[in-house]
C-alpha cells in the first residue's frame, strides 16, 4: 500500500487488538506515514529530531484513525504514573509531551516553520482547540505511565525496544499504559500504574493487560553486571542471548510486576497471535519491502527477514517495528519511535 492518500496525508498502518469489550489496544508500525530517511515511514517520536511537521502529520492521521485524542508524556524511564484526567486538558493537543510538535521544536515562533506539513498541522490544532476549548500546549511532564477514566482518550507510550504495557479494568472504566524498559521496571513503573488505576476505581482482579512489542530475551544482550542486578530484582529474568552473552528478559520482569500488583496471570492476554498474523499478512507489502531495501538495518530482502523471524513481537527482529538496537548497530544518526496505545470508547 502507499503510505499516503492521494492528497499526501498519512495512512498509518496499525495492528489493533480488542483487549476487552469497548477497549482497544493499537500498535503502530514503521508504515503509513510521511517520515523520511532514518526515521522510517511513520515515526511518532519527537525527540529524534525529525522535522516536527512530519511527526505531527503522522500523529494527526493516527488520531483520526483511532477516533480519539492522543495523550503522550515525556518518557524518562521513571516509575512515575500520571493521572491524565487531571493533566490532559492542560496540555493540548498531545497530553504532556511537547516534542514532535511545531510549537515545541523551536518555540512558538516556529509556527511559521517551512515544513511542508506545518501549515496543515497548525490549522488542525487551532481547529481542534477551538472545538474542544483546550488551551495551546503549555507544559512538558515527565512520566512513564498514564491513567485515565475518559473515553476517546488514547494513552500512548513511545517505544523502540522498550515494552509498552497496556492495562484496563473494563468494568470500572479505567485504562492505563506503562513504558517498561529495564530502568522503568526497576523503578516500579507497573506498580505505580496499577496503584493509580486502583485509586481511580479499578480493582486489580478485574484488570486485563497485554504486553506490547519489545526486544526479546534472546536478543537483549547486556553486560553481566547489569543482568545480575536485574535478576536480583526480578529472579529468573537473567538469560543467555542468541549471541551467547548475558541478557535480560523484560517479559519475565513485567509478569512478576503484574502478579505482585494483584493482576491474575489469566488476565494477561497474549498479543502475539494477532501480531504474528499481521506480520505474515504484510510480507508482500510493497511499502515494507521498499523500507527493508533501503533501511540498511538487516537483510535488504523482507522475505529473508521474515523467514528468520523467531519472535514476531521482538522489535529487534521484526522489521515492522522501530528498534533502537537495530538502528544503533546500523550506525544510524537518527531513529524513530512506535506507539503502543490503549483507548476506551
Binding site for Zn ion (CB under 5 A): 216, 218-219, 311, 314, 316-317
Please tell me the distance from the alpha carbon of residue 334 to that of residue 315, in angstroms, as a whole number: 16
Of 150 and 214, CB closest to Zn ion: 214
For 229-236, the CB contacts below 8 A with 24+ separation are 230/182, 230/186, 233/185, 233/186, 234/185
* Residue 317 Cβ vs Zn ion, minimum distance, rounded to whole Å: 4
Of 310 and 345, CB closest to Zn ion: 310
Please tell me the distance from the alpha carbon of residue 260 to that of residue 237, in angstroms, as a whole number: 15
**Cβ–Cβ < 8 Å for 81, 257:** no
* Residue 180 Cβ vs Zn ion, minimum distance, rounded to whole Å: 16
* Residue 216 Cβ vs Zn ion, minimum distance, rounded to whole Å: 3
- The conformation of residue 265, written as its DSSP 8-state character, comes to G
Of 8 and 245, CB closest to Zn ion: 245
Can you list the alpha helix ranges (DSSP code H) found in 73-117? 84-87, 102-106
Q: Is the dihedral of CA 145, 181, 281, 3 positive or negative?
A: positive
Please tell me the distance from the alpha carbon of residue 307 to that of residue 204, in angstroms, as a whole number: 39
* Residue 248 Cβ vs Zn ion, minimum distance, rounded to whole Å: 12
Of 31 and 313, CB closest to Zn ion: 313
Closest CA to 55 of 21, 99, 5, 112: 99
Of 155 and 219, CB closest to Zn ion: 219
* Residue 65 Cβ vs Zn ion, minimum distance, rounded to whole Å: 28
First-to-last CA distance in the chain? 28
Of 62 and 217, CB closest to Zn ion: 217
- The conformation of residue 112, written as its DSSP 8-state character, comes to G
* Residue 316 Cβ vs Zn ion, minimum distance, rounded to whole Å: 5
Amino acid at each position: 500500500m502507499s503510505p499516503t492518500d492521494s492528497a499526501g496525508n498519512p495512512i498509518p498502518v496499525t495492528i489493533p487488538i480488542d483487549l476487552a469489550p469497548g477497549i482497544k489496544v493499537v500498535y503502530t508500525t514503521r508504515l503509513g506515514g510521511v517520515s523520511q530517511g532514518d526515521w522510517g515511514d511513520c515515526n511518532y517520536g519527537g525527540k529524534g529530531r525529525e522535522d516536527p511537521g512530519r511527526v505531527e502529520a503522522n500523529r494527526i492521521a493516527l488520531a483520526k484513525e483511532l477516533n480519539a485524542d492522543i495523550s503522550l508524556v515525556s518518557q524518562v524511564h521513571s516509575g512515575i504514573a500520571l493521572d491524565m484526567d487531571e493533566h490532559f486538558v492542560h496540555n493540548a493537543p498531545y497530553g504532556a509531551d511537547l516534542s514532535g510538535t511545531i510549537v515545541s521544536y523551536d518555540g512558538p515562533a516556529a509556527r511559521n516553520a517551512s515544513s511542508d506539513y506545518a501549515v496543515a498541522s497548525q490549522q488542525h490544532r487551532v481547529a481542534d482547540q477551538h472545538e474542544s476549548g483546550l488551551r495551546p500546549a503549555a507544559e512538558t511532564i515527565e512520566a512513564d505511565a498514564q491513567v485515565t477514566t475518559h473515553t476517546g482518550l488514547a494513552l500512548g507510550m513511545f517505544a523502540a525496544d522498550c515494552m509498552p504495557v497496556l492495562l484496563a479494568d473494563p468494568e470500572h472504566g479505567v485504562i492505563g499504559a506503562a513504558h517498561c524498559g529495564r530502568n522503568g521496571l526497576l523503578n516500579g513503573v507497573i506498580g505505580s500504574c496499577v496503584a493509580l488505576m486502583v485509586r481511580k476505581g479499578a480493582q486489580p482482579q478485574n484488570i486485563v493487560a497485554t504486553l506490547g512489542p519489545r526486544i526479546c530475551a534472546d536478543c537483549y544482550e547486556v553486560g553481566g553486571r547489569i543482568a545480575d542486578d536485574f535478576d536480583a530484582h526480578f529472579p529468573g529474568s537473567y538469560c543467555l542471548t542468541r549471541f551467547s552473552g548475558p541478557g535480560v528478559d523484560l517479559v519475565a520482569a513485567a509478569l512478576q510486576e503484574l502478579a505482585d500488583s494483584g493482576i491474575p496471570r489469566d488476565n494477561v492476554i497474549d498479543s502475539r497471535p494477532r501480531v504474528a498474523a499481521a506480520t505474515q499478512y504484510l510480507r508482500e507489502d510493497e511499502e515494507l519491502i521498499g523500507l527493508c531495501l533501503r533501511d540498511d538495518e538487516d537483510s535488504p530482502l523482507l522475505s529473508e527477514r521474515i523467514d528468520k523471524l523467531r519472535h514476531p513481537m521482538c522489535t529487534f527482529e521484526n522489521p515492522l517495528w522501530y528498534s533502537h538496537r537495530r538502528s544503533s548497530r546500523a550506525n544510524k544518526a537518527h531513529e524513530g519511535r512506535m506507539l503502543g496505545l490503549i483507548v476506551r470508547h
